[in-house]
Structure 1
């Protein structure tokens, strides 16, 4: 409950983003105040503040939402104001009408809120005349344009490094999961240790999802970005690496679940199981190597030779363990194919 009610984030927004928002707000106020005579340019300042987003693509999206919302809201407020005046009940009515019209038009949540806010502000702060309505629309367009220009001109954001960090975390966690599974096959385990093993393996999914989300944010930050350049190639390689190892994440979780379900105290004595454990250690080595090479990490392991060089060949396991061994071998074979394809 404490986390759900928190108004704080885990990480601060970049200080540059805060500075750009402040600069855009001030610039929009000054420019709109110079170009559009009349009341203080509140609409321009708010538009600029909302338009400056972590990526240029998001800025354009927010600019369109903001502009369309203001136009619709101003039109609604003007019609109601001309017909009914500007008493309090008309202001409240305009908010309800604005929300219903936005819902009927299937507007996005951001645009829907903007329609209602604009209608309220026009009736509460001004007079419902055509000239006043046009001026507020112009203010908004000026503010949105200023916000986009500031976001493009002042070091447009590139979110590729955070994507690389998330991908490196996935590589480390995937290799660690394979190592933990190998160690569980080499020594007797308690029920509690098996529970922990399965829980840690399942945590690979949110790590993988975080990497995918970071790569998507990186791609979004490069849209319409004049600084994209070589970053597009890097991001494409990261996406390829994620796509390549996503099945390995699934296989690691599946192997861990198979061990959890089929474990008994004698499994560590099975020669075929010990051989599988050795192959899992080698696979973990090669996963670390693959992520070090493909993400450009400056790690010694990136220069090492792959350890999992050929498929595992074992003797027929004992009848008590053949189901578990067969399941592990199938998944291990798929892991081997993924690593081998990467070397090719």
Structure 2
């Protein structure tokens, strides 16, 4: 054994004990973890908060004229819950809450009519209300509202004549006010995030095609090809995100007074997303095939250089489409050549037997990619 070495039986040194300060820091971090889980990744827009507050105040004032004996809590709560990120969601939430209150009041009335007023009646009404919501397939918001309304009617309204009817009217008025305020005061739109997501996906697809052209036309190492495959696989999550933002944008346009100015943009983005769906599938397949079957002799094939050139042209034309349909998107790199590169027929030659399956699959995928992109280019012109 050399000096400074260790024998196989030597035990490793014990872990260093934490100092008092270190233990306190660890405890503080552990304590903060549950707190952070209750925090959203982004703040709610201040305008949304102000609209919610305005709806609650207006609902409180309006409903106070209906029943002066009771504070209009139901109306204020309905207005607060109804103000949502889109007018369509506000309308849906208003209907759900109104139905929940009405059904809850009916359940409370029927339960009291059948069982009288024993001490366990409220608990029975809660259970029955939840089962009614489940049986009628109500959404969670309405299902929860039913037992709450029934419980309040039985506990508070039992001694107050007309309490149930007043609460129904109060809830409906608060819901209507919430929808109206959200519709009137700068109704939110989610078109721009969808616009940017579609444009970003298109530019990333073009970058993958340029990377494939580099693999087929010049020497690259395995690390470059593996990284290219990883980036190509990330196109799927980007595609899913873009589709989700399109659905959110479409939802924000329903019942929105500003929808006419943005409907054409969203329609174009949806059509472009359909085209990108096909292109993403083909480009991902091409990247996977090249990564799985690549060898150094592939670049010597007569058609490889032509395929690489067609990939570069397709990437150029796809960027051209993105530039035309998303001129307001941020970080868009303007093309030096604003004209479509189009394509030229590839002269088919017999490849080496070890490459003919890969070459054939690349040609077929490239044909589909070219058709989709050129169709979009023709629509722009």
For these two proteins, the number of residue pairs brought into alignment is 340
Tell me the equivalent position of 1:96: 127
Kindly state the Cα deviation for residue 279 of structure 1 after the two structures are TM-superposed. 1.8
Tell me the equivalent position of 1:310: 344
The alpha-carbon distance between structure 1 residues 28 and 152, as it changes in their structure 2 partners (threshold 3 A), is same
Return the alpha-carbon distance in structure 1 between the equivalents of residues 127 and 177 of structure 2. 31
Among 332, 335, 338, the residue aligned to 2:372? 338
The alpha-carbon distance between structure 1 residues 46 and 145, as it changes in their structure 2 partners (threshold 3 A), is same
Kindly state the Cα deviation for residue 289 of structure 1 after the two structures are TM-superposed. 0.9
Tell me the equivalent position of 1:244: 275
Is the Cα contact below 8 Å between 1:179 and 1:281 reproduced in 2?
Answer: yes
Is the Cα contact below 8 Å between 2:66 and 2:166 reproduced in 1?
Answer: no
Any residues of structure 2 matched to 1:243-262 within 5 Å, and which?
A: 243-262=274-293
Return the alpha-carbon distance in structure 1 between the equivalents of residues 285 and 59 of structure 2. 55
Tell me the equivalent position of 1:6: 37
Kindly state the Cα deviation for residue 28 of structure 1 after the two structures are TM-superposed. 1.1
Tell me the equivalent position of 2:220: 188
The alpha-carbon distance between structure 1 residues 236 and 302, as it changes in their structure 2 partners (threshold 3 A), is farther
Is the Cα contact below 8 Å between 1:159 and 1:217 reproduced in 2?
Answer: yes
Encode CA deviations 1:252-309: one digit per residue, 9 max, x unaligned: 1111121122122332343422332222122111111111102234753286111233
The alpha-carbon distance between structure 1 residues 260 and 84, as it changes in their structure 2 partners (threshold 3 A), is farther
Tell me the equivalent position of 1:320: 354
Any residues of structure 2 matched to 1:260-339 within 5 Å, and which?
A: 260-297=291-328, 300-301=334-335, 304-339=338-373
Tell me the equivalent position of 2:266: 235
Residue 131 (str. 1) matches residue 165 (str. 2): no
Encode CA deviations 1:108-143: one digit per residue, 9 max, x unaligned: 222112212222333344426661110110110011
Is the Cα contact below 8 Å between 1:178 and 1:281 reproduced in 2?
Answer: yes
Among 229, 234, 247, the residue aligned to 1:216? 247
Tell me the equivalent position of 2:12: none
Residue 157 (str. 1) matches residue 195 (str. 2): no
Task: Give the structure-1-normalised TM-score.
Answer: 0.91
Return the alpha-carbon distance in structure 2 between the equivalents of residues 329 and 111 of structure 1. 55
* Secondary structure of 2:40 counterpart: coil
The alpha-carbon distance between structure 1 residues 321 and 207, as it changes in their structure 2 partners (threshold 3 A), is same
The alpha-carbon distance between structure 1 residues 126 and 279, as it changes in their structure 2 partners (threshold 3 A), is same
Among 58, 68, 72, the residue aligned to 1:37? 68
Return the alpha-carbon distance in structure 2 between the equivalents of residues 246 and 102 of structure 1. 39
* Secondary structure of 1:157 counterpart: coil
Is the Cα contact below 8 Å between 2:310 and 2:343 reproduced in 1?
Answer: no
Return the alpha-carbon distance in structure 2 between the equivalents of residues 168 and 129 of structure 1. 60
